[in-house]
Structure 1
């Protein structure tokens, strides 16, 4: 949850990156498989957040192109021997970002799971692809285009500043403070009791981000991160 909250309030400053890295604690070793636009962006971001990253692609031209940006190696991880040669079992987590071949994605994911990596994330391009990745044991399966489209739809159809969907009927959103709670503390405004939403964080104008303790006074034009069901969130921002 914390990295997502930090992303919602991110300003792109060096200070912000240092704080985010500190919140992660000790860095993990993460293997990124596939250096398309998505995999490259993920690998670079992980590196900026202080993680120990190795990016792998089977295309020597792609490897050469990105060799100055992230630690990179040429290997085809659809081959179990290649997985063994790079000591994949020593990594804490892996991200399979292969999007141009469903077969290669499934084989690479399966090989990394067989190697004993405990946390394997995989990119999917279809519902059927998702089902297979889930069945072979991928820890997290995501569809960037579908997930991104849902997020943009929510932003266009609402007054949200940002939106994160989580398990079940709940979402985490960033909104501007409704007039009904301006100038009040979270406790005095009785936000949870009146609307059923929880205030996770507050960023008052000109101040640093604060977690949502009940004594924080919410100012006009403050940005709030709240957790709740869609109807509860709508009721709150319309108050």
Structure 2
């Protein structure tokens, strides 16, 4: 199969979540067909997106006429109407869209979407809530869960790794965490870390590891 990284994407549902996805995709150079059944939402984005359409997203014939079945990827960004979210996802499955992303508002909603054929289910509110909780409770500057129990975090370096090469600091063997990049001071840029990289006070590190290990590292003096 050829590269589909910049193949057009259909985004269905233009609330805050769907609008943000559609606008960012176009900013990255990906063509987007944005669809919503509320004309006001479509009009608000018509000057910022190449292709916007007001249509009944739950109507199979309408979706087929818009060529939705020809898209390789689709995003179901409907979150406020559970029934519509499920129905639209089901229609995309019927249209044999190969890569369907769907927003879920609860674990139960997510399980239904998976069972009817969504290839990827995302929980934006839950994910953001977890991220903010980690930022509020710990010493992280930013936090991203990349798998069920694996995270990438931006944080201040603990004192024990300062002013020695990372290879000698033994941070990985002691804490199970790997430093992958370092930013020298607030105004610097991140560069890849090596065993010879020396971290100083005032620097910022990007660390990856299991969630509990990274969380523990934030409390190391």
Please report the TM-score for the alignment, with normalisation by the length of structure 2. 0.88
Q: Which moved more, 1:213-222 or 1:47-56?
A: 213-222
Q: Which moved more, 1:153-162 or 1:215-224?
A: 215-224
Shift of 1:191: 1.8
- Deviations along 1:17-58, one digit per CA (max 9) or x if unpaired, are xxxxxxx99523111111111111121112122222221111
Matched, 1:76 2:52: no
Q: Greater helix percent: which structure?
A: 1
Match of 1:159 in 2: 139
CA distance in 1, matches of 2:39, 2:90: 23
Which structure has the bigger radius of gyration?
A: 2
Matched, 1:223 2:204: yes
CA distance in 1, matches of 2:115, 2:204: 40
| Distance of aligned partners of 1:139 and 1:26 in 2 relative to their CA distance in 1, 3 Å threshold | closer
Match of 2:46 in 1: 67
Please report the TM-score for the alignment, with normalisation by the length of structure 1. 0.82
Q: Secondary structure at the match of 1:98?
A: coil
| Alignment partner of 1:211 out of 179, 192, 197 | 192
Which blocks of at least 5 consecutive residues in structure 2 are unaligned? none
Match of 1:94 in 2: 74
Match of 1:170 in 2: 150
**Root mean square deviation of aligned Cα:** 2.1
Shift of 1:172: 1.7
Aligned length: 216
| Distance of aligned partners of 1:138 and 1:214 in 2 relative to their CA distance in 1, 3 Å threshold | farther
Q: Secondary structure at the match of 1:166?
A: strand
CA distance in 1, matches of 2:68, 2:102: 16
CA distance in 1, matches of 2:166, 2:142: 21
Which blocks of at least 5 consecutive residues in structure 1 are unaligned? 1-23
